[in-house]
Amino acid sequence: MPQLSLTTNVPVDAVVAADIIKDCSRALARLIGKPESYVLVSISGSVPMSFAASEEPAAYGELMSIGGLGPGVNGKLSASLAEILEAKLSISRSRFYVKFDDVKGFNVGFNGSTF
């Protein structure tokens, strides 16, 4: 159950948000090896944010997954997400952090139970 939350100080309209969500969902499913039917992606724009003492366009992401994360894939995920944000929102790759969290299934609720 990969879940990605993105936050940025760049305004994000509904059309751009839909494109980013779609592109991120596909990338996560492909790189983590999970069905896209379990992928959840959200994005919040226009959030006050400072990165390196600057309010230039920046973003922060948190990616949680039950398995599928690790040294071999995290760099690919970071590159793919940074590429999407750069293409869609003109956020430089050097102004994007992403936190990876590989969790145990019993710590994730879904459909009234846990995994």
Active-site residue flag, 2: yes
Candidates 2, 11, 35, 71; catalytic one? 2
Rounded Cα distance, 73 and 40, in Å: 18
pLDDT in tens, 5-38: 999 999 999 999 999 999 999 999 999 999 999 9
What crossing angle do the helices spanning 71-89 and 14-32 adopt, rounded to 10°?
A: 160
Per-residue tokens: 28:
């996560």
Per-residue tokens: 59:
């973003």
Radius of gyration of the chain measured on its C-alpha atoms: 14
Spatial neighbors of 42 by CB under 8 A, at least 6 apart, are 4, 5, 6, 21
pLDDT in tens, 56-113: 999 999 999 999 999 999 999 999 999 999 999 999 999 999 999 999 999 999 999 9
This prediction has a pTM of 0.96
